[in-house]
Amino acid sequence: MESTSLVSFSLILCFTILLFGSTGVEARRRSSISSLITENLYNSIFLHKDDNACPARNFYTYNSFIQAASCFPKFGNTGDVATRKREIAAFLAQISQETTGGWATAPDGPFAWGLCFKEEINPQSNYCDATNTRWPCFPGKSYHGRGPIQLSWNYNYGPAGRAVGFDGLRNPEIVANNSVIAYKTSLWFWMTVQTPKPSCHDVMVGKYVPTAADLAANRTAGFGLVTNIINGGLECGIPNDARVNNRIGFFQRYAQFFNVTTGPNLDCANQRPFS
């Protein structure tokens, strides 16, 4: 499993390199995922991300994605080529649903509108869990969804900031203002085990080992389990949930771009959420 300490060590190495003037081109050269997802492919996947209709236009650049990914060397680099491509496709599908601007009759279809938003519109609260004393909320700050994965809650902003290199509790706004940091927080979430949840990475590369509780909850390996990790409390255990179906739709489209299969267990309708 990719432990928090290993993720943090990789980020420290990344920061050391970036400190001495690494450019997006140099980051792309270091990260071999650029051989699996070129800039042309990235732009074909996110066909409308820079449309005038999208509030995040010109924010989620290819260079920012590749630079952020270079700080997580196991992302898209674990297993055979098909496994590596499938993980990248799964990650891009999940962040697409989190940031989608698509609709049923949208030009080029509903699954061509990922990365349209960079923060939650009209959040219902400030997403402060006041009972969490390890990552206490800072007065006047809102921890609503921001970035590709829509990082939410103080207990995610705090550790994400510590790992990535910013004060997540005092400066959560940077996730919507700096595209490299935005991508880093999303990849941090993807790569990090948050017990009892496995990491999304481990699930997609075949390293997930279910516990007795996982087996009892029918949390089987596959894209559906990744959805459970990200938003299971709201979307899983529900037959034919539209949000889950959208995630699957994005994944199926992207898997075609990468010329890989999606694998089994795409939904989480029969899984119990993590408690």
Dist. CA 114–CA 51, nearest whole Å: 11
Tokens 């299971």 belong to which residue?
232
3-state secondary structure of 170: coil
Handedness of CA 271, 150, 247, 234 (dihedral sign): positive
Establish whether 173 is a catalytic residue. no
Question: Which 3 state secondary structure label does DSSP give 234?
Answer: helix
Dihedral angle over CA of 68, 71, 72, 78, nearest 10: 100
Please tell me the distance from the alpha carbon of residue 149 to that of residue 146, in angstroms, as a whole number. Answer: 7
Catalytic residue among 2, 26, 87, 98: 98
CA distance 100 to 111: 8
- Classify 203 as helix, strand or coil: helix
Please list the active-site residues.
98
